[in-house]
A and B are shown apart, each in its own frame.
Chain A
């Protein structure tokens, strides 16, 4: 690959399996990074797609998306193996299952050829599955090769050693961290210094604060409430557990419980239940969050912990599962508590009924979230420096 002249607009290739319009955390993170880069560079997205999907180039907003087939991919079988053999949310897979998943992920030999043709100045490898010849990216420190930045989005549980994460990390000049604990996760996946620079990405999320000035329609009648996040966004994964709305209501006695479960949102106190007649949108979620005493997240953990960040941005403490990206944010911010099992969840929920503790965690969480995740311009500059300029070195 050849580097471009200094005067031309830089060209960046983002290679990923996670692209589209869905609100999946990995997709959102990848789009945010690509969007930030688009302010300073021409961005080509190399989207690795399952064979059943259409391939070829297509325009998507400011991006040119090149859809490359993942040959031999068996996404449904892979999802079944992940669900059946993984712990919470399919994480913490045994090594044999992880190897199977690599196999079911398919191969995309055409991606290497395309990268060669695009000759980008920088390449962002988003996600950990890159089943093509990474030699096309050259070796770290090699002259004339594009800058390679990995955005592994690993979550909070180290991947099994057999996975291809290591191949990606070994090629990367820098690794963008989606949460404060991802450095430790990477160290477990790729010991002995095979990881390049570790740079906190601190994804920025825009919150529509004016939309949160008024309570969500229907909740006023129920007074104070805690928010239980069981499924969001609609259509995403749910966390089936014996912990229920009713048990939680007994724990937080005298306070209502608002539950977000995909399309079904409801709020109830000891006597009344109301199915909230609202559109299950993110703006309405913010409205619920903004007036909640605290937000309890019982969903399978995602790689970013977006809703925990948003809750803290709105000054509402969070109660999140351990391990998770959300827990790492809550710990770094001291903006919430975390639990390992339902018993701990209820203990922590009881503790959060203390107004002084809640107020303190809410303030600390907001300060942290605003400083790290609330300023979009800072995020754009951070991504620019990480991918196109000299990256910050993590102390």
Chain B
């Protein structure tokens, strides 16, 4: 088509006939009346994703958000260092008790929120994948119909 000469009029009928003859000379090269929806690659790419609620950072968050054990840990030993550390801890805990309580509540809320978001994202992703699977299923049904028709046509040709 790139070598059309001068100002010669193009007859669209001839172009269409030419295109059909090219295909007609190579029958069965690929299905002519069925084509996939190009969703398979996308589906594979999406299906490859790990659910977010299984992510290691989320596990780390769940393991470390609670400051309670650290605050109540009295430590061990009766040496001068251990006594001073215990005394300092008691003073700091007493002075910053309100702050630590608020911090603890904040971390709990944060962990709960991130957890809820992660589960929600995973739910949405699953729905998305289900929708894609529906599309693929329709494509496969389409293909099955196409193959069925081809077989019927071939059988008709043979019996004719």
Q: A residues within 8 Å of B by Cβ?
A: 242-244, 246-247, 250, 330-331, 333-338, 341-344, 346-348, 351, 354-357, 360-361, 364
- Are A242 and B32 in touch, CB under 8 angstroms? no
User: Which residue of the partner chain B has the closest CB to A332?
Assistant: B12
Q: Is the beta-carbon distance between A356 and B37 smaller than 8 angstroms?
A: no
A-contacting residues, B5-64, CB 8 Å = 9-13, 15-16, 19-20, 22-23, 30-39
Instruction: Determine whether the beta carbon of B37 is less than 8 Å from that of A357.
Output: no
- B115 close to A (CB within 8 Å): no
- Is B4 located at the chain interface by the 8 A CB criterion? yes
**Is A334 a contact partner of B11 (Cβ separation < 8 A)?**
yes
Contact (Cβ within 8 A) B4 A242: no
The 4 closest A-B pairs by CB, nearest first: A354-B1, A343-B32, A334-B12, A356-B4
In the complex, are the beta carbons of B19 and A347 less than 8 A apart?
Answer: yes
Majority secondary structure, B binding face: loop
- Contacts of B93-117 to chain A: CB distance below 8 A: none
Contact present for B15 and A247 (CB under 8 Å)? no
Contact present for B33 and A341 (CB under 8 Å): yes
- Name the residue on A nearest B7 (C-beta): A360
- Give Cα A301 to B3, complex, Å: 33
Task: For B12, give its contact among A247, A250, A337, A347 (CB under 8 Å).
Answer: A337
The tally of CB-CB contacts under 8 A between chains A and B is: 78
Other A-B contacts than A334-B11, A334-B12, A343-B30, 8 sampled, CB-CB below 8 A, are A246-B37, A331-B12, A343-B32, A354-B4, A355-B2, A357-B10, A357-B15, A360-B10
B66 at interface by CB-CB < 8 Å: no
CA distance A326 to B38 in the complex (A): 28
Chain A nearest Cβ from B103, distance in angstroms = 43
Q: Which residues of B contact A242 (CB under 8 A)?
A: 34-37, 139, 142
Assess the A247–B37 pair: CB atoms within 8 A: yes
Residues of B within 8 A of A246 (CB): 37-39
Interface residues of B (CB under 8 A from A): 1-4, 9-13, 15-16, 19-20, 22-23, 30-39, 139, 142
Known: A242-B142, A343-B30, A351-B1. A361 touches B10 (CB 8 A): yes
B31 contacts which chain A residues (CB < 8 A)? 343
CA distance A344 to B19 in the complex (A): 8
Partner of B16, one of A247, A335, A337: A337
Residues of B within 8 A of A330 (CB): 12
CA distance A330 to B19 in the complex (A): 16
- Please give, as numbers and ranges, the residues of chain A lying within 8 Å of B3 by CB-CB distance: 356
Q: What's the Cα separation between A243 and B4 when bound, in Å?
A: 30
Of A250, A343, A355, A361, most B-chain CB atoms within 10 Å: A343
A344 contact set on B, CB distance < 8 A: 19-20, 23, 32
Q: Which A residues are CB-close (under 8 A) to B10? A: 334, 357, 360-361, 364
Q: Which residues of A lie under 8 Å from residue B13 when comparing CB positions?
A: 331, 334
Q: Is the CB of B1 within 8 A of A341?
A: no
